[in-house]
Amino acid sequence: MTFSIRDIQARCAALGHSPGDIDGMMGPNTRAAISDALRARGGRRLPDLFHPSGLHRIHLHWTAGAAGVIDLELRHYNEVIDHEGRAHSGHFPATAQATYRVGHAASHTLNANTGAIGLAVDCMAGAVERPFDQGSAPMTQAQVDALAERAAYYCEAFDIPVSPFSVLTHAEIQPTLGIRQRWKWDITWLPGMKEPGDPILVGDRIRELVQRKMDMPWAA
Ligand SMILES: [Zn+2]
């Protein structure tokens, strides 16, 4: 299991021990965050900060596809949620992301697939950001609910905190983790919004939903 410095920084931040900016540099703030986090968890070594599975983040996407889950989508995400809110298992299970290799795990986020589970809602074909046009297959509320529910399941299963550093939309990857993405317009709009919004604020709304699902007494 290997973790990049960025992964370690994001994990510390997710656990409530901020290393400052997620910049991929092992500086004094990062070292301090690591020892704080280890002390809080009663761990000794870096891997002790992580779940034994090696999974530590969930990335939320939309496919930009038309209604109807297709093979290509199932190859790119660990789960794809259709318009009715049904989750379809991808070709690679979430655990395949622990040791990411092309062809053996889902490729859902540029340079950030290792340890990251990719969940997608199948929607937004033909959507245009500005002026906003939701296209022929806009995201449904059933999809948002199911996305939050599936994320809550994985958070619970793999000890992933519901934080902006560990449960984030594809649109947040670059601003929050500093990992450059080729421009791709990905979750910045939710049903009921007049137009796309700030990626972090939209991410916050989804995380709120995920947290609510986790707080339900009957949650997994
Ligand atoms: Zn995406």
Residue 198, pLDDT > 70, answer: yes
pLDDT of res. 216: 83
Instruction: Compute, in angstroms, the gap from residue 61 CA to the centroid of ligand 1.
Output: 4
Give the CATH class of 57-215. Answer: alpha beta
Delimit the domains of the chain by residue range. Answer: 5-49, 57-215
Residue 217, pLDDT > 80, answer: no
What average pLDDT does range 42-47 have in this prediction? 96
Instruction: Compute, in angstroms, the gap from residue 186 CA to the centroid of ligand 1.
Output: 5
Which pTM value belongs to this model? 0.96
CA nearest neighbour of 112 among 176, 31, 158, 50: 176
Instruction: Compute, in angstroms, the gap from residue 178 CA to the centroid of ligand 1.
Output: 15
Residue 1, pLDDT > 80, answer: no
Residue 166, pLDDT > 70, answer: yes
Residue 54, pLDDT > 80, answer: yes
DSSP output for 75-120? HH-SEEE-TTS-EEE-SS-GGGGGG--BTTB---STT--TTEEEEE
Instruction: Compute, in angstroms, the gap from residue 27 CA to the centroid of ligand 1.
Output: 30
